[in-house]
Amino acid sequence: PVVHPCFYGVDFADPRELLAANNSLDDIRTMLDLDGLPFLSPEGLLGAVKEPGAYCMACFDGKYCVPPEDYLNSKCCGTGEAK
pLDDT for 25-69, tens place per residue?
999 999 999 999 998 888 999 999 999 888 888 888 888 887 777
Backbone CA torsion sign across 42, 45, 51, 55: negative
Residue type, 44: G
User: What confidence tier does 72 reach under pLDDT thresholds 50, 70, 90?
Assistant: low
Residue 7: pLDDT over 80: no
Residue 65: per-residue pLDDT: 80
Residue 76: per-residue pLDDT: 53
Q: Are 58 and 8 in contact (CB under 8 A)?
A: yes
Residue 23: phi and psi, rounded to 5, are -140, 145
Which residues, 6 or more positions from 49, have their beta carbon under 8 angstroms from its beta carbon?
55
